[in-house]
Amino acid sequence: MGKVTLEGIEFHAYHGAYPEESILGNRFTVDLELDTDFKTAMESDALRDTVDYSKLYQLIKSRMDVKVKLLEHLGHVIVQDIVKVFPNTRQVKITLKKHHPALGGLVKYSSVTIFYPEDYH
């Protein structure tokens, strides 16, 4: 077992429940921890035997490009994609942050964290 981490992935995207959010967009940050079995890669030194970070990034980016209302939904579909593309995935922890959300006051960010498999019982 091992852990792959991508931290501070930033996107400008158009997620939100309010109409202005889907027009103006906002800055989002994604932090991802992925527990997987990469023992074979440790021995082989071959990218095919582990989680390809660039594929993982592209998977997240492709979901960030599709407007949704809720961060909870966005996190869910990203986790589903990760588990499908990387079947050796044992656990995922993903945190999505929306910077300066439109809440009527100064807020640094709002966020949700989703745990796989715990949130999938």
State yes or no: is 98 an active-site residue: yes
Round to whole Å and give the CA distance between 83 and 92. 9
Round to whole Å and give the CA distance between 5 and 9. 11
Selecting among 67, 97, 98, 108, the annotated active-site residue is: 98
DSSP H or E stretch at residue 58: helix 53-64
**Amino acid, single-letter form, for residue 51:** V
Residue 35 tokens, joined: 């527990």
Catalytic residues: 98
